[in-house]
Chain A
Amino acid sequence: MALAAPPARRRALPRLLKDAAAAALVVLALAIPFVGFRAVEVNAALSIRTRFGAVAVAVAVAFFGRLAIGALSGLRARPAVESRWPTLERRHLAVLAGLGVAFALLLPFLPFASSYVIGIATNVVIYVMLGWGLNVVVGLAGLLDLGYVAFYAVGAYSFAILAQRFHISFWEGLPIGGILAATFGLILGFPVLRLRGDYLAIVTLGFGEIVHIVLQNWVPLTNGPAGIGNIPPPTLFGLSFTRTAPPGQSTVFQFFHIEFSPLLRLIFVYYIILALALITNLFTLRLRKLPIGRAWEALREDEVACRALGINPTTVKLSAFAIGAMLGGFAGTFFAARQNFVSPESFTFTESATILAIVVLGGAGSQLGVVLAAIVLVTLPELGRQFAGVPVIGALGELRTLLFGAAMVGIMIWRPRGLLSRREPSLRLGSGRGGAA
């Protein structure tokens, strides 16, 4: 009978208990100041409320959670992390992507497509576009850009200001916004792209903040925190989607002799951003196969080797940076035209972090992953709003930023290449697939 329980197993229980007690102790110390007490304002003075019940719950969860994890990992050998996740084949991905595009195209005609749904879908596609733009910089070239929102802001504000001063239309503003954002990318990138990866991240963060502060304080140009309103919405070959057209122009509804419907305008706007996003996608997929795209991916993997092979890292990085910036600028111009209003509030670091979270969670370099992450990220707060009282779903929306922070850490630990991506080179020698372009 002595053989029934191997000595290792017998010694395991006290060790497990010790581990669990340690975890519980740490959680106790973490929870006491923040969960146990809450500083609340009563009659304009701070006082303290206690919530020791919540602390007890947290400690209990930590203790038994650690115990359960310890017991489970002791029972069976730890499986290799790689094999636990199904990895999608390339052709499955293609089918999935095709279905996704078809769904996006048909969305406005589906029965549940209300103005609310189309509004959310538009938001999702804006973030998809931003994610794909940032993916060029982070996923392909491996440059961590924490100030991507600066280029988004440049696009939005350049169109807003030009529309206000010179009455340009959306279709004139779009290329200008993209070019200006790319120029900003070049101006910023030229001095800083020689820096090491993590320094670059901090400098781009600083740049994003500078742009935000300037937008807030340069009142004569940007109207400060009040923002710029009355930005013209996109038109269809000069036909507007309003109820009454400005003098000398006509509306779509008059032109085609149909009844006025605000939904049609939303659908039109949705298709514009969808088209922009799909063009972005085709553009980046093509770029990845061109020499410049291959140079980006090579640089991401090993900068020293690239330099030895005669690639100029600064120029290559600069091109990635500028193209990413340009895509951000396009998205920004669209954002301004769609909201009809821009203010510095939309361009904070939180926004940059959100876009980065989309790219990281989706898997740096994976186009489909970005779409999935954007859908989750945009719809979670909507769920929170719709199900405000419902326990689990409502809480998910409220906790979404918290969860995204935690997910970024978790992804880095368990799936550093993202949920979908396997970080393969876009092209490889020898294998038939992909081939040499």
Chain B
Amino acid sequence: MAYFVQQLINGLTLGAIYGLIAIGYTMVYGIIGMINFAHGEIYMIGAFVALITFLVLGALGIGFVPLALLLMLLSAMVFTAVYGWTVERVAYRPLRHSFRLAPLISAIGMSIFLQNYVQLTQGARVKALPPVVTGGFTLMETGGFAVQVSYLQVFIMLLTTVLMIAFSLVIAATPLGRAQRACEQDMTMAALLGIDVDRTISLTFVMGAALAAVAGTMVVLYYGVIDFFIGFLAGIKAFTAAVLGGIGSLPGAMLGGLLIGLIEAFWSGYFSAEYKDVSVFVILVLVLVFRPTGLLGRPDVEKV
């Protein structure tokens, strides 16, 4: 039982991170109907910015942990948002009326470019960071197995919850959120009614990148090791999460993220750690084949 609870907590932490990345995929897909293949790389960039901010803060002598955390999050969100905006502006906006697969191929090119860019500027070696947030508490203890919850895990789950609520409010109750929902339904009509479609799409990328940056910061803190390649697997898993929850649906992305995190944690806890990534890919294939709309998605009407 205790082992189960421990895996549950680990899975939820992981799932929160995947969920934050998955929102970026699902929003972009909802609005312009493309898979932003470079989104995993945006998350990787967020992780690197957080790491570099931490090192700069260390060099400046700022050692107070809550302040350092706040600055890391803010700097990661801001700088990564600029990357998200630029990627959209450079690689996707010119292709808005191109043939169907063009944005996807362009996104793959962008993803390769960003990976190599980070590899060239920051080196190919794995970067390891000593734990920043330490400590935790024992939740329960049965049969000699103590369920440990670290403060960091609590922080990750709380922050994700807060961001999710804030984010849902933005979508539901602000002019920007209204514009986004309008663009999702009908871009031409939205433009006719005076919505700046380009700006709305740009802001969608900015928001998605900022959330991915939060996920990247969390990963730096949680695992303490990053390299330029982490975006690839995390990106696919988060995409799987978005598909599982129903692509285009925000609660779906979060639900999918949590499910993927749980599945991965339980799979490596009870079966084999080597094949944990296979489990995610198998889920992706099964969902796409048998229920392409996902758990919470709407059926997708094919237009000529």
Binding site for B on A (CB under 8 A): 26, 29-30, 32-35, 37-41, 45-48, 142, 144, 146, 191-192, 194-195, 197-199, 201-203, 205-207, 209-210, 213-214, 216-217, 304, 349, 353, 356-357, 360, 398-399, 401-402, 404-409, 412-413, 416
Provide a sorted-by-A list of 13 A–B residue pairs whose CB atoms are within 8 angstroms: A30-B82, A195-B288, A195-B289, A195-B292, A198-B104, A199-B243, A203-B288, A207-B285, A213-B274, A357-B112, A401-B112, A402-B116, A412-B109
| Residues of chain A lying within 8 A (CB to CB) of residue B99 | 416
B102's contact among A29, A39, A216, A416, by CB below 8 Å, is which? A416
Contacting A at CB under 8 A, from B136-161, are none
Q: How far is the CB of B209 from chain A (nearest CB, A)?
A: 12
Interface of B is mostly: helix
Question: A33, A34, A199: which has the most chain B beta carbons within 10 Å?
Answer: A33
| Residues of chain A lying within 8 A (CB to CB) of residue B55 | 37, 39, 46-48
**Chain A minimum-CB-distance residue to B232:** A349
B268 within 8 A of A: no
Q: A39-B127, A413-B95 are in contact. Are A199 and B292 (CB under 8 A)?
A: yes
Q: Is the CB of A146 within 8 A of B52?
A: no
A304–B288 Cα gap in the complex (Å)?
20
B131 within 8 A of A: no
A349–B235 Cα gap in the complex (Å)?
13
Closest 10 CB pairs of A and B: A408-B109, A405-B113, A405-B112, A206-B281, A402-B116, A412-B106, A409-B109, A48-B55, A29-B82, A217-B274
Q: Is the CB of A40 within 8 A of B232?
A: no
A45–B53 Cα gap in the complex (Å)?
15
Q: Is the CB of B109 within 8 A of A34?
A: no
Q: How far is the CB of B264 from chain A (nearest CB, A)?
A: 14
| Residues of chain A lying within 8 A (CB to CB) of residue B90 | 409
Q: Is the CB of A402 within 8 A of B113?
A: yes
Q: Is the CB of A30 within 8 A of B86?
A: yes
**Chain A minimum-CB-distance residue to B274:** A217
Q: Is the CB of A29 within 8 A of B79?
A: yes
Q: Is the CB of B52 within 8 A of A33?
A: yes
| Residues of chain B lying within 8 A (CB to CB) of residue A34 | 45, 48, 52, 117-118, 121-122
**Chain A minimum-CB-distance residue to B117:** A402
Q: A198-B35, A402-B120 are in contact. Are A304 and B86 (CB under 8 A)?
A: no
B182 within 8 A of A: no
Q: Is the CB of B289 within 8 A of A191?
A: yes
Q: Is the CB of A39 within 8 A of B122?
A: yes
Q: Is the CB of A206 within 8 A of B285?
A: yes
A48–B55 Cα gap in the complex (Å)?
6
**Chain A minimum-CB-distance residue to B121:** A34
Interface of A is mostly: helix
| Residues of chain B lying within 8 A (CB to CB) of residue A353 | 108, 112
B190 within 8 A of A: no
Q: Is the CB of A412 within 8 A of B100?
A: no
Q: Is the CB of B302 within 8 A of A33?
A: no
**Chain A minimum-CB-distance residue to B106:** A412
Q: A29-B82, A203-B288 are in contact. Are A409 and B56 (CB under 8 A)?
A: no
Q: A30-B82, A416-B102 are in contact. Are A406 and B289 (CB under 8 A)?
A: no
A20–B189 Cα gap in the complex (Å)?
33
Q: Is the CB of B289 within 8 A of A192?
A: yes
A197–B48 Cα gap in the complex (Å)?
32
Q: Is the CB of B109 within 8 A of A144?
A: no
Q: How far is the CB of B36 from chain A (nearest CB, A)?
A: 11
Query: Interface 1/0s, chain B 268-304, versus A by CB < 8 A?
Result: 0000001101100110110011001000000000101
Q: Is the CB of B288 within 8 A of A412?
A: no
A194–B59 Cα gap in the complex (Å)?
55
Query: Interface 1/0s, chain B 46-89, versus A by CB < 8 A?
Result: 00110111011011000000000000000100110011011000
A408–B104 Cα gap in the complex (Å)?
10
**Chain B minimum-CB-distance residue to A214:** B278
**Chain A minimum-CB-distance residue to B285:** A203
B105 within 8 A of A: yes
Q: A48-B55, A209-B281, A405-B116 are in contact. Are A413 and B79 (CB under 8 A)?
A: no
Q: How far is the CB of A139 from chain B (nearest CB, A)?
A: 11
Q: A408-B106, A409-B106, A409-B109 are in contact. Are A33 and B48 (CB under 8 A)?
A: yes
A29–B112 Cα gap in the complex (Å)?
21
| Residues of chain B lying within 8 A (CB to CB) of residue A213 | 274-275, 277-278
B98 within 8 A of A: yes
**Chain A minimum-CB-distance residue to B126:** A41
A144's contact among B75, B104, B118, by CB below 8 Å, is which? B104
| Residues of chain B lying within 8 A (CB to CB) of residue A198 | 34-35, 100-101, 104
A15–B90 Cα gap in the complex (Å)?
20
| Residues of chain B lying within 8 A (CB to CB) of residue A216 | 274
B111's contact among A30, A38, A39, A405, by CB below 8 Å, is which? A405
Q: How far is the CB of A143 from chain B (nearest CB, A)?
A: 9
